[in-house]
Structure 1
Amino acid sequence: VKQLIVAINKMDTTKWSEDRFKEIVKETSNFIKKVGYNPKTVAFVPISGFNGDNMIDSSSNCPWYKGWEKETKAGKSSGKTLLDAIDSIEPPTRPTEKPLRLPLQDVYKIGGIGTVPVGRVETGTIKPGMVVTF
């Protein structure tokens, strides 16, 4: 896991207390720093999952919250909601130039079709019509 979002849930139970949010951000920042993450690269978002506040649209319950900001490889990224934070996640680069590596998850024997291996391409590429031996 290279990128994190910290959604601080149940803010409605603290009546959207700014002090409680800052306290949780401070404690969580210290913890994620200890496990090897830079807190400046993490978005901290106050939400109420039960009420749906600050998840898709900005909540009027926390006028003190100006939004999150985080550092990324491309520069700085910012937003207000959990959806904004999810949208700011940079997709990982796939090593398509390497040889094909496809760990098998399962093998199905389907009548009339044959043996169908199922897995996820980790490196390389696979195209329709390619002959792959296992």
Structure 2
Amino acid sequence: MGKEKLHINIVVIGHVDSGKSTTTGHLIYKCGGIDKRTIEKFEKEAAEMGKGSFKYAWVLDKLKAERERGITIDISLWKFETSKYYVTIIDAPGHRDFIKNMITGTSQADCAVLIVAAGVGEFEAGISKNGQTREHALLAYTLGVKQLIVGVNKMDSTEPSYSQKRYEEIVKEVSTYIKKIGYNPDTVAFVPISGWNGDNMLEASPNMTWFKGWKITRKEGNASGTTLLEALDRWLRPCSGLPHCTHRLQVRRAEGED
């Protein structure tokens, strides 16, 4: 009999419009958490509202107000499986008006995926003094989410597209910031992705052949890989009987379940 998979809760955080919901929705779709017909339905509805690029985000952004404004207001929960885990993924709002909802989502997580947009001006807005990239990363650490993955998103919108130079600049700046707040960048997987196109989500992207993969170094064992999904699968189980271990809240119910 096969070993039963562990359940883990992952929160997706980051600045407003960094592509969190699109990345999360696309990942859920690619992992078989939603069928093609539903995605096609969302695509049609989004196109009718003049928001064709929101089809993956609508997997999670169910509220009418969210669809019309194109931002996530509440937290959304969805479940899918990786080769190692049953995953409940929590999509947290990036807009600063809804920070309480973001805190609710993050407090339930075992691991955080920080999405930063690589587009011209977008990264700078998120990492600025009042940007949600900084605030969300700090809140995640403060709330006890010690395992972090960074998805450098919208690599298709850099100048030129899929720019290695731009990616490396972002990794350097984000590493400096997360180190200040308490994370060790050596334990953080940085993955260049396109949440819309699917680059480096489940398979290595032919658009970024310069990317030789991510590597993390930690006392529990080193890990390496190329894709975002591989980074999620390398998550370390916390609470291995250590006296200082904090037991995290378990998400019991995904939206849409009875």
- Calculate the TM-score normalised by the size of structure 1: 0.69
Equivalence for 2:152: 8
Which of 39, 43, 53 aligns to 2:189? It is 43
Equivalence for 2:117: none
User: Which protein shows a greater Rg?
Assistant: 1
Instruction: Note if 1:56 corresponds to 2:202.
Output: yes
Query: What's the offset of the Cα at 1:91?
Result: 1.5
Equivalence for 2:90: none
Equivalence for 1:130: none
Say if 2:223 and 2:234, in contact at 8 Å, map to a contact too: yes
Which of 203, 206, 215 aligns to 1:69? It is 215
Pick 1 or 2: higher relative contact order, CA cutoff 8 A, min separation 6.
2
Query: What's the offset of the Cα at 1:75?
Result: 2.0
Select the structure that is richer in helix: 2
Query: What's the offset of the Cα at 1:89?
Result: 0.6
Structure 1 segments of 4+ aligned residues over 6 angstroms from their partners: none
Aligned residue type for 1:49 = G
Equivalence for 2:229: 83
Say if 2:186 and 2:218, in contact at 8 Å, map to a contact too: no
Distance in 1 (CA, whole Å) between partners of 2:207 and 2:197 is 11
Query: What's the offset of the Cα at 1:92?
Result: 1.3
Distance in 1 (CA, whole Å) between partners of 2:166 and 2:193 is 13
Query: What's the offset of the Cα at 1:73?
Result: 3.0
Query: What's the offset of the Cα at 1:94?
Result: 5.9
Aligned residue type for 1:2 = K
Q: Which runs of 5+ in 1 are unaligned?
A: 98-118, 121-134
5 Å matches for 1:115-130? none
Distance in 2 (CA, whole Å) between partners of 1:94 and 1:18 is 38
Aligned residue type for 2:146 = K
Q: Which runs of 5+ in 2 are unaligned?
A: 1-144, 244-248, 251-258
SS across alignment from 2:202: coil
Say if 2:192 and 2:200, in contact at 8 Å, map to a contact too: yes
Equivalence for 2:180: 34
Distance in 2 (CA, whole Å) between partners of 1:45 and 1:72 is 18
Q: Spell out, residue by residue over 1:62-98, the C-alpha distance to the aligned partner (whole angstroms, 9 max, x if none).
A: 0100000001232210000000000001121265x9x
Over the aligned positions, Cα root-mean-square deviation in angstroms equals: 1.9
Distance in 1 (CA, whole Å) between partners of 2:188 and 2:240 is 23
SS across alignment from 1:73: coil
Identity of aligned residues (%): 57
- Calculate the TM-score normalised by the size of structure 2: 0.36
